[in-house]
Structure 1
Amino acid sequence: MHADADIAQRLWRAAVLWRLPLWVLGALPWLSLRLLPGVLAWVAWCMWDGARLRQRVNRGWIGWLDAALPELEDSAALLVDAEAETAIARMQRSRLLARIDASLDKKTVRAIVRRHVDLGLSWLAPWLVFAFVVWFVGQQPAASQQAAPKAPAQATSAAVVPELVVTATPPAYTGVARSTGAPRHLELPEGSAVAWCLKHPEAGETILELSDGRTLNVGAKCASLSATESLFWRWRGARYTLKVTPDAAPLITITRPTQMIQELKLDAQSAAMAISVRDDYAVRRATLHLTLARGSGENIKFTDREMPIPSSADPRVRNWAKKWTLAELGMEPGDELYFFVRAIDNAAKPHTVQSPTYTLHLPAPEQEDEEVTSAMPVLVKPQSLRSQRQIIIDTEQLIADMRSTRMGQAEMRERSEAIAADQGQLRRRYGQFLGEESTLFGGEEEHDDHDDHGASSGEMDVLHQFGHAHDEAENATLYDEGTKKILRRALVAMWDAEKALRAINPKTALAPEHKALEAIKELQQADRIYLHKTAFVPPPIKEEIRMTGDVVGAASYRREQGEAQDAIPLPLRELVQALSQEGPLPALWTRTAHDWVRERLGDDEQRLAAQRAIQDVLDGCLRCRPVLRAWLRAGIAQAPVILQAKPVAQTPFTRAWGEGDKP
């Protein structure tokens, strides 16, 4: 057992705790004076005092125990000798070890230490006196400086180096934390507030130069700026970039259905939709708009429905997918469902985005085809007008009869020409929708006689030969270009079939007849068109000038032709010419350059590079003039072009009149 070491260690810890207030009090004066040498000297003395105290405890703890504890019977020295020579000594040592734990408690240890170890206040007094002397000597230069004139004090304050602190505060809706620090390159959202402040305002004002030509004074008050576009600023010769990231509009992605016009199967029971909406900060609202169309012709009913797209754990993303049953959508055979997604973000000026319109079409069972559609006006047709399908049936029957029986040429010609006449009547009926003249109700012979009479008379039709028409027959209808193309295809096929039937070749006429039928069926399927509702908002009427006859500010109804303008302004032309030389630049050239760069260069990197060149030329850099000249010329390529109309119109009549022989 090492009982002696344990007892000595307990007495040593108690002595250190007893002397600790002395060491702390001695360090306080030096810490208040902020004198590192004094603190180091006091720490060195405390280390020496601690070592001296440890030696004192190691030498005297046996006597301290014999004097304080009668139970030890003046035999504390036996605790040091672990291997006693006699049996009596070993027996006495065992008795002491049994008594020592009960006798030597914490209170007894503290009492023994306080009796033999003093507080050391005699050592503290000299150190306090020495610290007071040091403080008194240090106050003499300060007093002399206060008695000196104010001019040196002002010189001292002017010698303080200004330190700039940049604070960037993004808009609250972005959720980006505020940042503060030394001058640095920043990338901030659009609309962020940037503030420049001096850490020591007594250093005096400083000037910040912005790339767009503006300057900011920073002094006792901070300079602030709202970041609306990317720029850079210069302070004490160093440039720092402030890149502004515009707030992006929400991105809508529709992955199902995969096509904009989805044709469902006849036996379909469900329709799937998968939508994803993303934004750079947060999606405030996203809705799905459904429109169900039922009916045909003029009897079409639309039913609108709107439902919100639920939000997710991430406010920037909304993913939604659902497999609808046709009963939930309310779709029946022949119906069409139009849907689109509209999303709004949480920006200060919210962006509203709408996706393209998708169509789900559930086809109806096939019925008897008819050529009359709601896309075309209904005409009262005579009883003898046959449909295209009837013409195909008659042609197929004629071909079958020609193969099965020996038909005479007269009968074959009669039946083929009858089918050709029906095809011609049907062709002229559909031709009316493209502005062609119809001979369905007679009068074809009169037109032919009229044409023959005009040709035999020998008179020249000056209007048709030398004039030019300002309109076309096809443009006299109200149909869109897609419908007109289908009608033209049907008419061409009908004309080919009629020619083959006139030539007594019904087998050749069968293919164009089927083409005409397909075109007519395509017109039938295009009788329903979905368009978003639009409304005209008239300008507000000023009631205070209404019915007063005041025409100040009213625009003329006459349209004036735009005058030719110079693509390059005169000040810019003079600046570009001056930059090619080393002479002086025109007055106010910086304003001209900044306005041109801001207007013509839309890319942030290009605009910043051009503004950097403007600053360099302003600083007197001659080698930077070609660079600035190149950036100014780069904006000329985007100059507006004004097309001028020719005042004289050249027509075939005027050319023939000018080139004709003069009498």
Structure 2
Amino acid sequence: MRSSEGKYWIEGLRRRWIFSDAVKAFCFAATAAIISATVAMHFLGTGWKAFVLIFLLLFAGISAWMKYWNISSAQVSRFVDDQFPEVEQSSWLVLEPEENLSLLQRLQADRVNKVLSAKKISDAPWKQLVGPVLVLVAAIALSYGLSFISQSNRSITDSITEKNAGMPVVKENIPAEVSGFVITITPPAYTGKQARSQQQFSLTAETGSMVKWAIKTSLPVQSMVLLLNDNESVPLKSADNKSTWSASRLIAKSGFYQIVLNGKKSDYYQMEVTPDLPVAIRITNPAQHSTIDIGQPQQIDLKVLLNDDYGITDASISATMASGKGEAVSFKEKKIALQTNIHNQRSIQISQRILLRELGMKPGDELYFYINAKDNHGQLSRSDTYFVSIQDTTELMSLAGIDNGVNLVPEYFRSQRQLIMDTEKLLKEKAGMSEEEFKNKSNNLGIDQKMLRLRYGKFLGEEEETNIGGGHADEKEGKHAEGKDEHGHEAEQHAEAVEFGNTQAIMDQYAHKHDTSEDATFFEPELKAQLKATLNEMWTAELRLRTYEPQQALPFEYKALRLLKDLQQKSRAYVAKTTFKTSPIKPEKRLTGELKEVNGVQTSRSGGAGNKSVTVLKATLAMLENKKEGLPAMPGDLGVLLQAQQQLSAAASNTPAKYLDALKSTKKVLALWKNGNPQARDIAAMQKGLSLLIGAELAVPVQLSARSSELTKSYFKQLNRMQ
């Protein structure tokens, strides 16, 4: 009996190869998944769930490609023959049963057993893992580095943004008496932002921020005041030495301010307030008006995106279900919770499925819903109202109201209802009939649907089947469908081949024709479009019936019927019931002729003050243009400039970013108007601000000349003669 050490030795090596290949597949899959997930997180903001999904898919794919579990002992023996010359290419002998070997082979097998038992199992499977493990470690390091850099960049960007908020475009003009100052901005607590300090007078703050000014002067001053928007004074308090001043103010709106030291005003400084907007709600699915047709699942796949400046604290769905008709309509309100955790996030994506049956809705009911959301400042916002209705088959199949009013739709249009009933009957009887009989009946229903569709086509000016429901024609179907399948696919391909290269067909797409069959109808464009949509639904139903799929044809048949009933309602002439309530009549005042309490029609002319202000601004622009040309100043120019400055000051208090530069330049122009020459850049900046205030003038109507009036009278006189 020969020993089996060699066989066990080869089997152990095989298990090592299988395990090492599995580890190799794991390393490659994990490397690719880590890199993909890191990129997705950095650019798309996805979570680590994407890593798990990508890893599982890649590991399964790589394993299926490598098939390491199929490594056989014969393959391992060939590796042993190549790596160990001592076995003399005979390692396979230890794997064969002893009864299958000759005497010399048994002797050689014993020799191989002795050689292998004296050797350690090869480490070659472990050596091949060095590369994949190093690649995996590098991918982990790269992912960590990118995450760290991204987080650092985000922190640096946020800190720079907060630090440099409100940085002026140009260098500020600081009063000479001021030796140093610090402005501290403390945002409201709900924003989650820390207090920040800056050494600039122009500032940008969140709504409701507390702003503190701390100003030091080189010499003691008697008084220091902050003049806000040229109409509000905020005194600064000083210590005993009169050189350190401070004041605090809650900022609620944008504007500008000046520092007044001992009655001397400084330059203008901007105060920009960032408003806290309510939650922005965006519903991407469903559409604002949607109908659930027959055969569709009675559910809503809701997709909502919520965004807020500082955080969202609550969101919900307010739904109202309406059921019944006429005076028996009942409404039921319900608040539906969103299936997501809201913990003061700034952005939330919501995907939620709402089952209408669980809300107690049935065919014919309607659902009205909107989204409510609240931010961490308590501001409420709501979306538009969305409407979802479930189509009622009973209403569609009913004949009530068909003979009321004036019906412009032909009587045979209502045969679509009979087609639906025949299709449902065919589906019920399918189990008790043969396949051939079922196909014949389904095909016959398709023929009936085709005939009904052709009748509709006549009301669109189409006397034959051309361009109805996909461009099939009777003549082409009769000529080319013989010997082919019964759906006319070959004829359709032939029609496309004929149209290719047809000059007349290309010209028909762009030519303006007055005798087209489609326009030779009595339908309005809206009714015509709905009738075309009905033809498309009928064509799809016919296709399903012709291909022996009546179950799939039912939704299209129901939709065609719904469009038909809607078309009937639109074409019906009726007078709606209306009620009118008059105000009560006082008998004592009737027929007295007293008109003192009757006010005549008054036309408000608010444009007078506006025209006056525009006149002042235009005069100021003309004066500035004369000043640029070197003309001397007139005595009344200063008063006009002061009026223009008042208007610029009022505009800058509302939108400082737009008009504050012009107001600063106006101050400089006024200082040098009489006894100096203002700089050209100040005049240009002032002109720009005045032009923005004037805006685009509307065209003013002018009276026609006498000659034009006579021509107009003659024209209307000729028109009267022609009638």
Task: Provide TM-score, normalisation by structure 1.
Answer: 0.44
Task: Provide TM-score, normalisation by structure 2.
Answer: 0.40
User: Which structure has the larger Rg over C-alpha atoms?
Assistant: 1
